[in-house]
Amino acid sequence: MANGWDSKNVEEQQAEQQAAQPATPASKTFVADQDHAAIRAEADRKRRIQALELQRERILSERTSSPHRRNALEVALGEIERLLQELGYTLKL
């Protein structure tokens, strides 16, 4: 019988604690979710910029005497620079 009484007392204490805590409004939760989404989007953008920078550096480091290969590298470089600009990245020359 004592265990039953103790568990009721614990339940009451937990209920009182929950009632004393202010409820988190749904708008705060929504803002927090938006913040997390914005942080994830910014992290994804930075990772994409970093990957494109590495590709750009690799292309710039290649040497070739073939005009066809050089042309392909120039086209690829132009595409990478276009993608970087779309991401809001300014090229550091």
Spatial neighbors of 48 by CB under 8 A, at least 6 apart, are 87
Within a domain: residue 92?
Answer: yes
Within a domain: residue 38?
Answer: no
Within a domain: residue 77?
Answer: yes
Q: Which structural domain, as residue segments, surrounds residue 50?
A: 43-93
Within a domain: residue 53?
Answer: yes
Q: What is the mean pLDDT of the chain?
A: 82
In this predicted model, what pLDDT tens digit does every residue of 67-86 receive, in sequence order? 999 999 999 999 999 999 99
Within a domain: residue 1?
Answer: no
Within a domain: residue 78?
Answer: yes
Within a domain: residue 35?
Answer: no
Q: Is 5's pLDDT higher than 80?
A: no
Within a domain: residue 79?
Answer: yes
Q: Give the count of domains, the chain.
A: 1
In this predicted model, what pLDDT tens digit does every residue of 47-63 receive, in sequence order? 999 999 999 999 999 99
